[in-house]
Chains A and B, each alone.
Chain A
Amino acid sequence: MTGFDFLHALDEARTPARGAEVYIEVGARPAQVAPVRVVAADLAARADFDLDAVSDLRMAVDEACSTLATLAPPGARLRCRIEVDLDRITVTARITGPGSAVISRNTFGWRVLHTLTDKVEVLARDETETSSLGIRLIKERRTGAA
């Protein structure tokens, strides 16, 4: 080890991403969700989540956004908020516009979301009625050995 200060590195590593709140909006189409999963995974890696968790989050975001995009009416947008806290990352994805689509919890896709995250919930129409449907994912930081 030549002058590499672990504690300094750790501190520097976690500071920029902690408390970050990032918004991304793309067209609500399956082909357009890639940037969302890339940003979510990058934030998780920078916040020093272990790389299993980073990969799990990337797949979960892909699954959630693809599901929403498939259910979205033509021309809808997919609005995502990614919040990085010390112990968890929360991804909230919503499709804009009216709609009556629902997300079934009995599917393989739901099983995937449930396995890859610590908490997953379906969001109904929001207060301002700009969104008819959404999914919120929470991935918590694991500490110590698996």
Chain B
Amino acid sequence: MTSVATPSSRPPGDSGYHHLTPLFAEFAALPPHHRRRSQLRDRLVEGHLPVAQHIARRFAHRGEPLDDLEQVATLGLINAVDRFEPDRGVDFLSYAVPTITGEVRRHFRDQGWAMRVPRSLKDLHVTIGTAMSELSQQLGRAPTATELSVHLNMPREQVVEGLEAANAYRGKSLDSMLGDGDGTSGTLADAIGTADSELERVEYREALKPLLAELPERERTILMLRFFGNMTQTQIAERVGISQMHVSRLLSQTLAGLRNGLASG
């Protein structure tokens, strides 16, 4: 992958984002759980969407649907907004363009081995996701494949295939990324506090802490609640306000990332 544009190749209309610059300082100055943070975050992400779309288009016609590329690029943009430090003296685009480009490149690398999933299976994935949250509410735990097949009146084999597709399909729902902001309500903050004190009991936590600090807030929250807060994925899904499938996917990705980080550190 050497043909990809360099970070210096800016999208056109670069100067069209100046009005957003002051928002970064305000965003960075707010405490983590401040209500206004998620408003500002949405405005910053939405305001810079053309940058993400521009980068996604540069990677079009290489075998991945443009919709997926735009989602991945937008995810990169969200990460860039979350991690950008305005007082470093670098402007946002200089930071965001390589971050977003890196995210799209990683998507291609991951797709190199991930299965290609037909459209109908992606739709099935959505159907199953909806059924899972309904059944989890009823049962107080995650359903089984048979319970899903009965609920959906669908052959069990089809459900199992849909579940496999859910794991092969590594894209993230844009709505859920934008929808739930920091994801830290009061009770959630309490749960994280308990998890934090559990973390103190792990040896090598000194190697782990800087890696945890680099994670996006939601990924860190989910990881802490699962491994130090003794909550199931279904319980975490309910607390954080995303689907169990999404929790599962984020946890798997975060664990793999930490493994690489710990191995190289």
Contacts and interface: CB of A to CB of B under 8 A. Distances in A.
Interface of A: 1-2, 4, 6, 9-10, 12-14, 34, 38, 41-42, 45-46, 48-56, 58-59, 62-63, 66, 70, 106-109, 111-112, 115, 142, 145-146
A109 to B, nearest CB: 7
Given A9-B156, A49-B144, A50-B142, A112 B227 contact: yes
Chain B interface bracket (under 10, 10 to 19, 20 to 34, 35 or more)? 35 or more
B143 interface: yes
A53 B149 CA distance: 17
Contacts of B244: 51-52, 55
B160 A59 contact: no
A108 B145 contact: no
Contacts of A63: 255, 259
17 contacts: A1-B153, A9-B150, A14-B146, A34-B113, A45-B163, A50-B141, A51-B132, A51-B142, A52-B232, A54-B163, A106-B203, A107-B202, A107-B262, A108-B202, A112-B227, A115-B230, A146-B234
A106 B202 CA distance: 7
Contacts of B248: 55
Interface string B151-171: 001001000100110010000
Contacts, number: 101
Given A52-B233, A66-B259, A108 B144 contact: no
B145 A146 contact: no
Contacts of B167: 38, 41, 58
Contacts of A62: 252, 255-256
B235 interface: yes
A52 B150 contact: no
B57 to A, nearest CB: 30
B258 interface: yes
Interface of B: 113, 132, 139-146, 149-150, 153, 156, 160, 163-164, 167, 202-205, 208, 226-227, 230, 232-235, 244, 248, 251-252, 255-256, 258-259, 262-263
A51 B163 contact: yes
Contacts of B156: 9, 12-13
B58 to A, nearest CB: 28
Given A42-B164, A45-B145, A108 B258 contact: yes
Contact of A9 (B146, B164, B232, B258): B146
A108 B208 contact: yes
Nearest to B153: A4
A134 to B, nearest CB: 19
Nearest to B150: A6
Given A4-B153, A107-B262, 19 more contacts: A14-B146, A45-B145, A45-B160, A46-B145, A53-B142, A59-B251, A62-B256, A63-B259, A70-B263, A107-B203, A108-B258, A109-B259, A111-B227, A112-B255, A115-B226, A115-B230, A142-B141, A145-B141, A146-B234
B106 to A, nearest CB: 15
A51 B146 CA distance: 11
Nearest to A2: B153
A25 B156 CA distance: 28
Given A107-B203, A111-B202, A115-B227, A50 B143 contact: yes
Nearest to A46: B160
Shortest Cβ-Cβ A-B pairs, 9 listed: A146-B141, A106-B203, A52-B142, A55-B248, A145-B140, A51-B142, A48-B144, A50-B142, A13-B146
Nearest to A5: B150
Contact of B252 (A2, A9, A59): A59
A34 B112 CA distance: 13
A106 B262 CA distance: 14
